[in-house]
C-alpha cells in the first residue's frame, strides 16, 4: 500500500477539518466557552492531529507496519499519540483557565494523551486507510488488466506480419546480390525468432541477452536501410546480474526507425548507452515530421511493465534535434 498522501487525500483532510471545526464552534458556543478556547483549542486540535497523520502515513506505516515490525510500530505509535495528545490536553487545560496546581499526574497525562489523540485522528485515519485500500485494490486490478493486454500485444508483435514481410523482401533481394550476406541474414533472423519464442512467457531477461537481441535486430535494420541508420552500443559498467523487461531494447529501436526518416543523406544516429542503473537510447531527429510523433502505445506498455517490476520511472527528453529515453536497469540480486 502506498501510504503517501495524494491530492485527493488532502481534499479529504480539508473537508474533514472544515466540518469538525464547524461542529466544534457550535459545541463551544453551546457550552459558553471563552474566546481564547476557540483561538487555542480548535487550531491546536487541527495542527496536532495533522502532524500525527503525517507521521503515521509517511513514517510509521511504510517503515514499520508494512515491513511487519509490529512491536516497534505499536510502541512508537503509542509514544506519538501520547506526546501530541498531551500537548493538546495541556494547551486546552491552560486555555480553560485552570490552575496548573490541579494538573493531572504523569500517568493520567499519558492515558489522557492517548485518548485525546486517538479521538482526534482515529476516524480520519480510518477514512484514509479505507480510501488507500480501495485505491490500491483498483490499481492492482488496472495493472493486471493492462498486463494481460501487454501480453497479448507482445504475442502479436512476435508474429507481426509486416516485420516478417519486410525481412523476407530484404532476404529475397540479398539472395541474388549477396548470397553470403543472405545466409547471415537468415541466421540473425532465426536467432531473433528463437529468442522471441524462448522468452514469450518471461517478463525480464538478462541485459547481455537483450543486447545480443539488439545486435541482431540492428543487423537487420542496417541491411535493409543500409546507411540510413547508424547504431552504437556503449557500456560503462558490468552488465552481469542486471535485467530489463524482455524486448525493451528492440521496442526502443523500432521506435527510432518508425518515427525518424533520414534527410539529405544525413543518417539517423542512435546510441545505446548502458550505465550502472540505467539504459539510455538517444537518437538524432530529422526535419521530417512523422504522423506518429509520440512513442504512443509502446511507451504506455513499457511504463505499465515497469510499474509491475520497479518503482523507478522511465525518463524521456524530447528536443528539436534529439530524442532520448532512459529505462531503469533492474538488479534482481539487490532487490531480493
Residue-wise pLDDT tens digits, 235-264: 998 888 899 988 889 889 988 888 888 888
- What percent of the chain lies above the pLDDT cut of 70? 90
Among residues 302, 324, 322, the alpha carbon closest in space to that of 313 is found at: 302
Q: What is the per-residue burial (b if ≥16 Cβ within 10 Å, else e) of 270-283?
A: bebbbeeebbbbbb
pTM: 0.54
Cβ proximity of 131 and 12 under 8 Å: yes
* Band (294; pLDDT cuts 50, 70, 90): very low
Among residues 203, 188, 210, the alpha carbon closest in space to that of 279 is found at: 210
- Give residue 179's Cα distance to chain centre: 48
Give pLDDT, residue 335: 44
- Does the structure show a pLDDT above 70 at 334? no
- Rounded CA-CA distance 93/37 in Å is 10
Sequence-distant (≥ 6) Cβ neighbours of residue 52 within 8 angstroms: 80, 81, 84, 117, 120, 121
- Sign of the Cα torsion 320, 322, 323, 329 reads negative
Cβ proximity of 304 and 150 under 8 Å: yes
Average pLDDT over residues 136-143: 81
Average pLDDT over residues 13-34: 85
- Rounded CA-CA distance 224/297 in Å is 25
Mean pLDDT of the chain: 84
pLDDT tens string 59-84: 988 888 888 888 998 999 899 989 99
Among residues 312, 302, 260, 307, the alpha carbon closest in space to that of 283 is found at: 260
Sequence-distant (≥ 6) Cβ neighbours of residue 214 within 8 angstroms: 233, 249, 250, 253, 272
* Band (316; pLDDT cuts 50, 70, 90): very high
Give pLDDT, residue 186: 93
Instruction: Please classify residue 147 by burial: count the beta carbons closer than 10 Å to its beta carbon, then call 0-12 exposed, 13-18 middle and 19+ buried.
Output: middle
- For the chain, where are the alpha helices, taking DSSP H only? 7-30, 35-55, 70-95, 106-158, 161-177, 179-198, 207-225, 248-259, 297-309, 332-335
- Rounded CA-CA distance 245/206 in Å is 9
Phi/psi of residue 144, nearest 5 degrees: -60, -40
- Rounded CA-CA distance 263/77 in Å is 65
Among residues 230, 223, 213, the alpha carbon closest in space to that of 184 is found at: 223
Average pLDDT over residues 155-184: 78
Beta strand pairing call for 229-235 and 315-318 = unpaired
Amino acid at each position: 500500500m502506498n501510504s503517501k498522501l495524494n491530492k485527493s487525500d488532502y481534499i479529504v483532510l480539508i473537508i474533514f477539518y472544515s466540518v469538525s471545526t464547524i461542529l466544534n464552534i457550535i459545541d463551544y458556543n453551546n457550552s459558553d466557552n471563552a474566546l481564547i478556547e476557540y483561538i487555542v483549542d480548535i487550531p491546536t486540535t487541527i495542527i496536532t492531529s495533522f502532524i500525527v497523520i503525517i507521521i503515521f502515513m509517511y513514517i510509521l506505516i511504510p517503515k514499520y507496519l508494512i515491513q511487519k515490525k509490529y512491536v516497534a510500530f505499536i510502541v512508537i505509535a503509542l509514544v506519538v499519540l501520547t506526546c501530541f495528545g498531551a500537548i493538546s490536553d495541556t494547551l486546552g487545560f491552560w486555555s480553560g483557565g485552570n490552575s496548573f496546581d490541579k494538573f493531572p499526574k504523569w500517568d493520567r497525562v499519558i492515558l489522557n494523551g492517548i485518548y485525546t489523540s486517538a479521538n482526534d485522528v482515529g476516524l480520519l485515519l480510518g477514512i484514509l486507510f479505507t480510501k488507500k485500500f480501495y485505491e490500491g485494490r483498483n490499481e492492482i486490478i488496472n495493472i493486471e488488466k493492462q498486463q494481460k493486454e501487454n501480453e497479448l500485444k507482445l504475442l502479436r508483435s512476435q508474429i507481426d506480419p509486416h516485420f516478417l514481410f519486410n525481412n523476407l523482401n530484404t532476404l529475397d533481394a540479398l539472395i541474388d546480390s549477396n548470397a553470403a550476406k543472405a545466409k547471415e541474414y537468415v541466421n540473425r533472423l532465426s536467432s531473433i525468432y528463437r529468442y522471441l519464442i524462448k522468452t514469450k512467457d518471461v517478463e525480464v531477461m538478462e541485459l547481455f541477452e537483450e543486447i545480443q537481441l539488439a545486435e541482431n535486430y540492428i543487423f537487420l535494420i542496417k541491411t535493409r536501410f543500409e546507411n540510413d541508420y547508424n547504431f552504437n552500443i556503449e557500456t560503462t559498467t558490468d552488465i552481469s546480474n542486471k535485467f530489463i523487461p524482455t524486448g525493451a531494447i528492440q521496442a526502443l529501436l523500432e521506435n527510432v526507425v518508425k518515427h525518424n526518416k533520414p534527410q539529405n543523406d544525413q543518417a539517423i544516429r542512435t546510441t545505446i548507452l548502458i550505465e550502472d542503473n540505467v539504459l539510455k537510447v538517444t537518437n538524432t531527429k530529422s526535419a521530417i515530421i512523422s504522423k506518429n510523433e509520440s512513442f504512443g502505445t509502446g511507451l504506455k506498455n513499457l511504463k505499465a511493465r515497469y510499474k509491475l517490476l520497479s518503482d523507478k520511472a522511465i525518463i524521456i527528453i524530447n528536443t528539436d534535434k534529439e530524442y532520448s529515453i532512459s529505462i531503469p536497469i533492474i538488479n534482481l540480486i539487490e532487490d531480493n
